[in-house]
Amino acid sequence: MPIAVDIDVMLARRKMTVGELAERVGITPANLAVLKNGRAKAVRFSTLAALCEVLDCQPGDLLRWEAADGSDSVPIRDAQVAD
């Protein structure tokens, strides 16, 4: 999948468990695991905003784009938008 999820990186930096993050964000640990493991097909902006608030980070700290061949890895906030 071209979008990689780095929630586990932020959890480690904040010394927080999946269960604690799920509780503070207001989602189930199972749903957070689906998102964290890159199996989610979509994420609500309200959930992304809550994750960023609790983890004190930006969306680009949690999500990044990877080229199909795996050669590039660009944080979402740094990606260029084509016209």
**Rounded Cα gap, residues 22 and 77, in angstroms:** 24
Secondary structure class of 79 (helix, strand, coil): coil
- For 28, residues 6+ apart whose C-beta sits below 8 A from its C-beta are 22
17-27 average pLDDT score: 96
- Looking at residue 69, its pLDDT comes to 75
For residue 80, what pLDDT band results from cuts at 50, 70 and 90?
low
53-64 average pLDDT score: 96
For residue 68, what pLDDT band results from cuts at 50, 70 and 90?
confident
Q: Is the pLDDT of residue 42 over 80?
A: yes
Q: Which amino acid makes up residue 45? A: F
**Rounded Cα gap, residues 2 and 28, in angstroms:** 25
